Structure 1
Amino acid sequence: MRRELGMSLVLVLMCAGLYISNPDFLGQSNVVNTTRQISMLGIFAMGMGFVIISGGIDLSIGSVIGLTGVLIAKISSTGMGCLGYPLWVGIPAALAAAVLVGLAQGLLITRLKLQPFVVTLGGMLLVRGVSQTVAEGGTLSFGDSSFLDLANGGLLRVGGDALIPYPLVIFLAVLAAGAYVLHFTVLGRYMYALGGNREAAEYSGIDVGKVEVLTYVISSATGGIAGVCYASYIGQMSQLVGMGYELYAIAGAVLGGCSLRGGEGSALGILIGSAIMRVIDNGINMFQVRYVEGGVRRIWRLDPNWTFIIIGTVILVAVVFDQVVHIVQGQRRARRADDARAAAPRPIDAPPTADTG
């Protein structure tokens, strides 16, 4: 919990600094929108956390988000080239496609012993190509469909804005389910065991192939759920939606304490990491410094072109920090082992036995 507490403190300090810089940061509209963004990221970051804890990686989750939205628009939108079926047909069909992507990738990784990086990289490009084909290289719009209320609506409306957006409700459900699976079920213990030491997990009788497939199915399923929310939030879909989102998910999970080596992480940490990523994203637009120059009050703001520079730096810092923590922990374990060996009493040689022959 020390890492989660440390990252929570970082999050609080970031929010305090942004509020001091720009009081509008804690304005109702910005808080609601940031909460919505955190929730949508947290949904698929939770699935990514499952994969990382198990010792894998999923680079296709951003493409799965885009595919889900494109399929919903294609099946349920009434625009040109769309099928116009009800949403209760389009949403389950899109979610089923997302789950099938995870199942296919999991089987390729476990049955053919392929590297997760290569399989999910190929899956990322293939799924994005499918989205482009379905959308025919263009954009599919939802128009004024009631589907848009899913992401933009919510509970407890005050001043026209819903204080509790529906994506937050969905995220809390995903978070509760993820926390229960990770920390209170046998499957969760198997995931930690698989990520900590695959060979030991196999020797202990764990069906590592089945567990690994389940992690990729869960990851794609959460990507599908997030895709439903993003489609509702954006209102129109193309193959470009979801591009690069896998990096946000990986960064959120790693910032929250999930080790890229596997075997470490928590649902609470993923929540905190997702919040940090979205606060950084929002803070780039909100941060400002007021100063006086030549008797004129001026405001300095961060250049939006720095967005990827800052986020990339955060990812690298998180990875370096994870590596440093493991090096320090390894050195401590080695010192404790040396101290224990030095403190242990030496065995007394047993006297030779008499020859009774």
Structure 2
Amino acid sequence: MKRELGMGLVLVLMCAGLWISNPDFLGQSNVVNTTRQISMLGIFAMGMGLVIITGGIDLSIGSVIGLTGVLLAKLSSSGMGCLGYPLWVGVPVALSAAVLVGLAQGLLITRLKLQPFVVTLGGMLLVRGVSQSVAEGGTLSFGDSPFLRLANGGLLRVGGDALIPYPLVIFLAVLAAGAYVLHFTVLGRYMVAIGGNREAAEYSGIDVSRVEVLTYVISSATGGIAGVCYASYIGQMSQQVGMGYELYAIAAVVLGGCSLRGGEGSALGILIGSAIMRVIDNGINMFQIRYSDDGVRRIWRLDPNWTFIIIGAVILVAVVFDQAVHLVQEQRRARRAARPADESAAPPRPFEAPPTAGAG
């Protein structure tokens, strides 16, 4: 919990600094929109977190988000070239396709003993190509479908904006389910054990292959849920949607305290990491410094072109920090192992000969 508390403090300080810089940061509209963005990122970051905790990686989750939205638009939109089926048909079909992607990748990784990086990289490109074929290289629009209310609507409307957007409700449900599985079930303990030492987990009788397949299925399922939310939020889908989102998810998970080595992580950390990523994204647009130049009040803002520079630097810092923490932990374990076993024990009492019979 120390790492999660530390990153939580960083998040609070970032929000305080942005609010001091620009009071509009805590304005109702910006808070609601940022919460919506955190929620949609957090949904698929939760699935990515489970994969990373088991020692794997899922580079295809961004493409799964795009595929889900494209299929949903193709099936349930009434626009040109779309099929116009009701949403209760389109949503299950799109989510089923997402789950099948995760199942196929999980089986390739576990049955053929392929590297997760290679399999999910190939899956990322393949799924992206499928999305492009379905959309025919163009854009599929939902028009004015009631489906758009899913991401843009919410509960407790004040001043025209919903204080609790529906994606937040979905994210809290996903977060609660992920936290329960990870921290309160045998499956969660198996995930941590596999990430910590895969061979030891196998020798302990854990069905490692089944658990790993399940984590990839869960990851793709959360990507599918996020894809539905993004489709509703954007209102139109193409093969470009979701591109690079897997990097945001990995960054959020690492910032939240999950180790890329596997075996470490928490649902709370993933929540904090997702919030940090989206606050950084929003802060690049909101941060400003007021100053005077020859008596003229001016405002200095960050250049939006620095977005990927800042996010990339944050990812590198997080990875370096994770590596430093592991090096310190290994040094501590080495010192403990080198310490004599009886160092803390009381010194042995000198030998005392028994009293001679009849003495005195």
TM-score range, shorter chain: over 0.9
Paired position in structure 2 for 1:47: 47
* 2: CA distance, partners of 1:147 / 1:342: 69
* 2: CA distance, partners of 1:143 / 1:297: 44
2:328 is the alignment partner of 1:328: yes
| SS of equivalent to 1:151 | helix
Paired position in structure 2 for 1:127: 127
* 2: CA distance, partners of 1:339 / 1:9: 36
* 2: CA distance, partners of 1:342 / 1:305: 60
Paired position in structure 2 for 1:279: 279
* 1: CA distance, partners of 2:162 / 2:214: 35
2:162 is the alignment partner of 1:162: yes
Paired position in structure 2 for 1:108: 108
1:1-357 correspondence to structure 2 within 5 Å: 1-341=1-341, 343=343
* 2: CA distance, partners of 1:73 / 1:216: 25
Q: Kindly state the Cα deviation for residue 344 of structure 1 after the two structures are TM-superposed.
A: 6.8
Q: Kindly state the Cα deviation for residue 341 of structure 1 after the two structures are TM-superposed.
A: 3.5
What is the alpha-carbon root mean square deviation over aligned residues?
Answer: 1.1
* 2: CA distance, partners of 1:72 / 1:40: 17
* 2: CA distance, partners of 1:187 / 1:147: 35
* 1: CA distance, partners of 2:23 / 2:334: 49
Paired position in structure 2 for 1:350: none
Q: Kindly state the Cα deviation for residue 338 of structure 1 after the two structures are TM-superposed.
A: 1.7
Paired position in structure 1 for 2:358: none
Aligned structure 1 segments of 4 or more residues deviating by more than 3 angstroms: 344-347
| SS of equivalent to 2:41 | helix
Q: Kindly state the Cα deviation for residue 340 of structure 1 after the two structures are TM-superposed.
A: 4.1
* 1: CA distance, partners of 2:182 / 2:344: 38
Aligned length in residues: 347
Structure 1: runs of 5 or more not aligned: 348-357
- Deviation readout 1:129-152 (Å, 9 max, x if unpaired): 000000000000000000000000
| SS of equivalent to 2:164 | strand
Paired position in structure 2 for 1:354: none
- Same amino acid, percent of matched pairs: 89
Aligned residue identity for 2:286:
M
Name the larger-Rg structure: 2
Paired position in structure 1 for 2:353: none
Using the size of structure 1 for normalisation, the TM-score is 0.96
* 1: CA distance, partners of 2:251 / 2:28: 27
* 1: CA distance, partners of 2:342 / 2:250: 42
Q: Kindly state the Cα deviation for residue 337 of structure 1 after the two structures are TM-superposed.
A: 1.8
- Deviation readout 1:153-178 (Å, 9 max, x if unpaired): 00000000000000000000000000
Q: Kindly state the Cα deviation for residue 342 of structure 1 after the two structures are TM-superposed.
A: 6.4
- Deviation readout 1:210-247 (Å, 9 max, x if unpaired): 00000000000000000000000000000000000000
- Deviation readout 1:22-47 (Å, 9 max, x if unpaired): 00000000000000000000000000
* 2: CA distance, partners of 1:82 / 1:198: 46
Structure 2: runs of 5 or more not aligned: 349-360
Aligned residue identity for 2:235:
G
Q: Kindly state the Cα deviation for residue 272 of structure 1 after the two structures are TM-superposed.
A: 0.1
Q: Kindly state the Cα deviation for residue 339 of structure 1 after the two structures are TM-superposed.
A: 2.1
| SS of equivalent to 2:339 | helix
